Structure 1
Amino acid sequence: MAPGSDESTRQRVVRAILVNGPSTAASLAEQLDLTPAAVRRHLDQLVAESALEARDPASRGSRGRGRPAKVFALTDAGRQRFEQQYDDLAVQALRFLAETGGEEAVRLFAERRVAFVEERFAEVADAHPDLRPAEVLARVFTDQGYAAAVRESPVGDQLCQQHCPVSHVAHEFPQLCEAETAAISRVLDTHVQRLATIAHGDGVCTTCIPDPGRASGLPPVAATRSSSTTKKEKVAP
Structure 2
Amino acid sequence: ALRFIAASGGDEAVLAFARARMAAVGEAYRAVVEAAEPEGRTEALAKALSADGYAAMARSAPGPQQGEQLCQHHCPVAHVAEQFPQLCEAETEFFSSLLGTHVQRLATLAHGDGVCTTYVPRSGHAPPPQTTHSASASTAGRNP
**TM-score, scaled relative to structure 1:** 0.47
Corresponding residue for residue 207 of structure 1: 118
Runs of 4+ in structure 1 off by over 3 angstroms are 125-131
Q: 2:53 is matched with which residue: 118, 135, 145?
A: 145
Query: In the aligned structure 1, how far is the partner of 2:121 from the partner of 2:13?
Result: 31
Query: In the aligned structure 2, how far is the partner of 1:180 from the partner of 1:125?
Result: 15
Query: In the aligned structure 2, how far is the partner of 1:141 from the partner of 1:147?
Result: 7
Q: From the superposition, tell whether residues 125 and 188 of structure 1 become closer, same or farther in structure 2 (CA, over 3 Å).
A: closer
Q: 2:88 is matched with which residue: 177, 185, 189?
A: 177
- Say if 2:34 and 2:41, in contact at 8 Å, map to a contact too: no
Corresponding residue for residue 103 of structure 1: 11
Q: RCO greater where, 1 or 2, for CA within 8 Å and sep 6 or more?
A: 2
Shift of residue 125, structure 1, vs aligned partner: 3.5
Mapped pair 1:165 → 2:63: no
Greater helix proportion? 1
**TM-score, scaled relative to structure 2:** 0.75
Q: Which protein shows a greater Rg?
A: 1
For residues 186-216 of structure 1, give each alpha carbon's deviation from its aligned partner in whole angstroms, at most 9, with x where no partner exists.
1112111000000011000000001156x6x
Corresponding residue for residue 20 of structure 1: none
Query: In the aligned structure 2, how far is the partner of 1:110 from the partner of 1:126?
Result: 22
- RMSD, aligned CA: 2.2
Q: Structure 2 stretches of 5 or more lacking a match?
A: 126-144
Q: From the superposition, tell whether residues 173 and 212 of structure 1 become closer, same or farther in structure 2 (CA, over 3 Å).
A: same
- Say if 1:148 and 1:161, in contact at 8 Å, map to a contact too: yes
Query: In the aligned structure 2, how far is the partner of 1:122 from the partner of 1:176?
Result: 18
Q: From the superposition, tell whether residues 180 and 130 of structure 1 become closer, same or farther in structure 2 (CA, over 3 Å).
A: closer
Shift of residue 130, structure 1, vs aligned partner: 9.1
For residues 63-84 of structure 1, give each alpha carbon's deviation from its aligned partner in whole angstroms, at most 9, with x where no partner exists.
xxxxxxxxxxxxxxxxxxxxxx
Aligned amino acid, residue 159 of structure 1 = L
Q: From the superposition, tell whether residues 126 and 172 of structure 1 become closer, same or farther in structure 2 (CA, over 3 Å).
A: closer
Q: From the superposition, tell whether residues 101 and 126 of structure 1 become closer, same or farther in structure 2 (CA, over 3 Å).
A: closer
Secondary structure, counterpart of 1:195 in structure 2: strand
